[in-house]
Amino acid sequence: MRRGVRWTGVNPWSAGAVAIAVIVLAPLVAVVWFALTPTDNIWPHLLSTTLPRYLLNTGVMMAGTGALTALVGTVTAWLVVMYRFPGRGWLQWALLMPLAVPAYVGAYALVDFLDYAGPVQTTLRASFGWATSRDYWFPQIRTRGAAILVISAALYPYVYLLARAAFREQSGAGYEVARALGAGPVARFWRVGLPLARPAIAAGVAVVMMETVNDFGTVDYFAVQTLTTGIFSVWRQGGNLGGAAQIACVILSVIVVLVALEKVSRHRSRFATSARNVRPVTPASLTGAGAWAATAACAMPVLAGFVLPVGVLTSHALGAAQWTAPGLAEALLRTLAICGIAAVLAVIGGVFMVYGTRLSGRTLPRLLLPVTGLGYAAPGAVLALGILVPLAAFDNGLADMILRITGRDPGLLLTGSAGVLVLAYVVRFFAIAQGAADAALGRVPASLPMAARSLGRNAGQTLRAVHLPLIGASVGSALLLTFVDAIKELPATLMLSSQDTLSTRVYAKASLENIAEAAPAALVICAVGLLAVILLARAHR
């Protein structure tokens, strides 16, 4: 497999893999460079003023969402695996549906539902004859605690999915032995099920925490100042690139720790996997109040994370005027085009890099391959910071060169364009395509490409004729997941482009309390997200 075509001693597959890795990692390197070489060092000022508040709020948000998603995801996974109860058949898949609803969309829907002018308080005033808010007490909606609830309702499926897989892989004999020794349901959960599933649960919680750090729309709407909102404030409002980069480096440090913990958990989870010939768990049938309690426990997260936000948005989007609002069609077409191109490029790059790394066997590509996954872990605001400033410098230099040659000023050709969004989405979600390609190519028997090469096919022909037909399903899944995640991405889109997309349209309209005009775009995002959820459900049957 190493006998690929070489150009003057350089393996093109190895060189291509390194080039892709450089493109993916360049924004992160740029952020670190900006932080180390600030024009105006405001780090002491940040340490003495806003940074402690950013750190505190971010830490509380991470801890709160981590704990709540661990509780909800683990308990619901345990119930659907270990017991039979009314609605179990559809609830085990419905529990994935909140993944289709971005957290910021859920935030807008929750505030609209519970705010003073919302249906809940309006009904209370009409029922009890209250005239104003001074006649009764109602909890504040836009708080840090509410932000934790909203983000948890959107992200708990990450924990649920991994915990459910871990519980299903456990041996039914172990639970029977525990039952014979007198262990009740709670004792079996704490002493048998939870210890074996803990690495998978910890991996899911780490993903939730990374997504919590990345969130901007929810915390901004609830006025919670986190590290991500700090980047927006210091850079876009204060105009200080170095300070924003320094905050971004704090986020990167947090992310690196979480990624390391997730990798350790994933490695440890191999020891908890049951043998293939071990009898699977047989669900026990619940009856009476216990059965309906299990149904309610599994239905509540679905109601909070999917039914409530989609229902509120649908009620606002029933009128035809909302769907014909100016700019909606253009935002939809622009979003589909940008995200579609980004998904295709990410998948092509992921396949090329993995195949090139495997084909060349060189050390450098093999070392860079796992590091490219950091782009997915890094928040969109961090990547936007590392992309926009170098790209703006290049854009200005290009415009100056064209001006000197032609005498005409072309303006900024790349900055603020659709191209910069495509680049950001490719970098941000490259790990999805790369991971899918790596897993799929690893399942291709080595004898097949060897046979093709013995028949005179070169590396490219072997990839097209042998590998691509076999990995088509995995590549298609990665394409869809990348496309969906790109549509939902908000922080990078806000920072990099002034063009209207579905996510920025939802943010702009909802920030002005215009939920009616935000509803159609939000529903389109949710509908596209459902495609990924359906694919995910089919893959984990």
pLDDT digits (tens, 9 = 90+) for 277-288: 566 777 888 888
| pLDDT at position 279 | 66
| pLDDT at position 173 | 67
Q: What's the CA gap between 482 and 474, in Å, rounded?
A: 12
Q: Is 1-24+328-499 CATH 1.10.3720.10?
A: yes
Q: What's the CA gap between 183 and 191, in Å, rounded?
A: 9
**Dihedral through CA 345, CA 350, CA 356, CA 359, nearest 10?**
-140
Identify the H or E element spanning 390: helix 380-406
CB 78 within 8 A of CB 167: yes
Handedness of CA 472, 473, 478, 481 (dihedral sign): positive
Q: In degrees, to the nearest 5, what angle opens at C-alpha 195 toward C-alphas 192 and 196?
A: 80
Q: How far is CA 28 from CA 23, 379, 406, 424, in A?
A: 10, 11, 35, 12
Nearest to 439 by CA among 468, 474, 485: 474
Locate 162 and state its tokens: 């991994």
Identify the H or E element spanning 346: helix 328-360
CATH topology of domain 40-100+143-273+288-326: MetI-like fold (1.10.3720)
Establish whether domains 1-24+328-499 and 40-100+143-273+288-326 are of one fold: yes
Taking 50 as the pLDDT cut, the residues of the chain under it are 1-9, 271-275
Label each residue of 116-170 as H, E or C.
CCCHHHHHHHHHHCCCCHHHCCCCCCCCHHHHHHHHHHHHHHHHHHHHHHHHHCC
CB 380 within 8 A of CB 491: yes
Q: What's the CA gap between 435 and 418, in Å, rounded?
A: 26
Helices (H), 129-274: 144-168, 172-180, 185-188, 194-214, 217-221, 227-232, 241-268
**Coil vs helix vs strand at 427:** helix
| pLDDT at position 404 | 83
Q: How far is CA 378 from CA 209, 212, 248, in A?
A: 12, 11, 9
- Which residue ranges make up each domain of the chain? 1-24+328-499, 40-100+143-273+288-326
User: CA end-to-end span of the chain, whole Å?
Assistant: 36
Q: What is the pTM of this model?
A: 0.86
- Which residues pair with residue 416 across a beta bridge? 497
- Per the listing, tokens 């958990």 go with 265
CB proximity list for 401: less than 8 A, separation 6 or greater: none
Identify the H or E element spanning 533: helix 515-539
Locate 152 and state its tokens: 């948890």
The conformational region for residue 280 under phi > 0 = left, psi -120 to 50 = alpha, else beta, is beta
**Coil vs helix vs strand at 6:** coil
| Exposed/middle/buried for residue 201 (C-beta within 10 Å: 0-12, 13-18, 19+) | buried
Displacement of CA 294 from its chain's centroid (Å): 29
Count other Cβ atoms within 10 Å, centred on residue 202.
Answer: 20
Q: How far is CA 43 from CA 243, 246, 250, 277, in A?
A: 6, 7, 11, 58
